[in-house]
A and B are shown apart, each in its own frame.
Chain A
């Protein structure tokens, strides 16, 4: 068995940022990845996807985007090159194509078993990300034969889909982007809309992420939030990283001809049933967006910017049809495919340590897992609102590396 102080599982932005911080503290470590650096970005994303954060926001410890288009959005090959170069620059000790089979507690640490041998470590960093498995609702089992179903993990482009209309379930970042792309390919698209977070791509002439970054919204810490378990469940912002910087909200999708329906409530006798609460879901999202814009306006005013940028304004409320459809026959042939854009969850099936709550979520305090020497990174609002962004990996890695280092020093004293 090989021995190392710290094993980092996953060589994406979180694992690499942690590697850099451990190296700075002279802690010997290894990164294990089932594929290569940036594996999920390489293998689990659709073709047209671009980062939702602008290039300037791709920042990691001691490393940042240096190209000529700071306001653009990276394509997946660009993200992969960006992370590859970082791994080279920090000489990250990555063991690629190494699949972790199990992690078990052992004397003084953990045994990490892989398909290429076992490792013993004192501390462990779970950096496998928040999006290992696409969630599907319970009613997925009630989809009638003849309708194919898929998830954003398998979806690559509209050409893969069988003939017929497409029902996309979920209207967060993934759902709105797929709805737009598939509709542009010439198909009928119905979008089932539950809770969502509406934001404009740009506001008062700047990217929304520029404002959120400047006003400190993204740096808000997990201890400052009233209900952190709720904050961690908030869906992703309805954003797309398109070169034209267009806002991809529900109004834009309706105007293009996509039919909006309420949350998918169930499927009975081959008929999809949609909630009648679409209007309220949209009202909640409009009100929440306006509170964010108020925060931005207050910040801009307080910082004396009011004269030099576009005036404050508000976007049209989300238009909901007077009589949204409550049901859809899935057996008539109108719908060929259902895409479950209903979120993602991490997969810890290999983690043989009792650190889960009754819903199967990791018990942790800001990334410090409820087991000695174990840490997790990259989950939504782990320590800060930006924790799940590339830009959030650095600060979280620094905090957790400090904690890891201090507890090792205590044990040694």
Chain B
């Protein structure tokens, strides 16, 4: 566990992140690059209207199929202003939640590695969208977000600049941040 010294009293920083295990994995995967190749999956089933349920379970990594003890489900729908039943969050809200979750998890990991104790972290995220895009009204308007804004409110035993550096480093290493800021080839087929 990383140790920091404050007022001559030694306290263990504990953000609930096992940094030693992460660093060990980094070293192991540097030596065996093929084990670092992962494939993530989700199965999405249409329920009714715009209501869907995705199920997430196994994934591929460390050179083999990885099974979990349980399945996770995530539902999505659209609100009543879209003439939908509002059974669940919209897919774009799930994307925002995915980005905020990824950045927040990264902050905890980086803070642990840097010996910074976190007390609370809250991300508020919003994305602007012009519906003229998805409704096909104006072809100059894109379907997706015009911009995404994330605001972090962090209480931690660190200076303001150290907290800003945590947030910046988390973005630098975030998978979802990369996914939303850089293009990705997407292949969709019908079986």
Contacts and interface: CB of A to CB of B under 8 A. Distances in A.
Contacts of A268: 183
Give the size range of B's interface with the partner.
10 to 19
Contacts of B37: none
Given A277-B177, A287-B164, A358-B33, A265 B182 contact: yes
B181 interface: yes
Interface residues of A, number: 16
B181 A287 contact: no
Interface string B156-191: 000001001100110110000110111100000000
Nearest to B31: A358
Q: Is the interface of A mostly helix, strand, loop or mixed?
A: mixed
A287 B33 CA distance: 32
Given A323-B147, A358-B33, A287 B180 contact: no
Nearest to A282: B168
A290 B162 CA distance: 11
Q: Chain B contact residues: over half helix, strand or loop, or mixed?
A: helix
Nearest to A278: B181
Interface in A231-282: 262, 265-266, 268, 273, 275-277, 280
A277 B165 contact: no
Given A277-B177, A290-B161, A323-B147, A284 B182 contact: no
Contacts of A290: 161
Given A277-B177, A323-B147, A358-B33, A287 B168 contact: yes
Contacts of B33: 358
Nearest to B148: A276
A290 B164 CA distance: 12
A280 B183 contact: no
Contacts of A262: 181
A161 interface: no
A268 B171 CA distance: 25
Contact of A265 (B168, B171, B183): B183
Contacts of B182: 265-266, 273, 275-277
Contacts of B178: 277
Contacts of B161: 287, 290-291
Interface in B13-53: 33
Interface string B135-161: 000000000000100000000000001
B138 to A, nearest CB: 18
Contacts of A266: 182-183
Nearest to B182: A265
Interface in A289-322: 290-291
Contacts of A277: 171, 177-178, 181-182
A358 B147 CA distance: 39
Contacts of B147: 323
A275 B172 CA distance: 12
A283 interface: yes
Nearest to B145: A276
Contact of B168 (A276, A283, A323, A358): A283
Contacts of B164: 283, 287
Interface string A319-338: 00001000000000000000
Contacts of B165: 284, 287
A276 B172 contact: no
Contacts of B172: 280, 284
A277 B171 CA distance: 8
Contacts of B171: 277, 280
Contacts of B168: 280, 283-284, 287
A262 B178 CA distance: 12
A-B interface, 6 closest residue pairs, ranked by CB to CB distance from nearest: A276-B181, A265-B182, A280-B171, A277-B181, A284-B168, A283-B168
Interface of A: 262, 265-266, 268, 273, 275-277, 280, 283-284, 287, 290-291, 323, 358
5 contacts: A265-B183, A277-B177, A277-B181, A283-B168, A358-B33
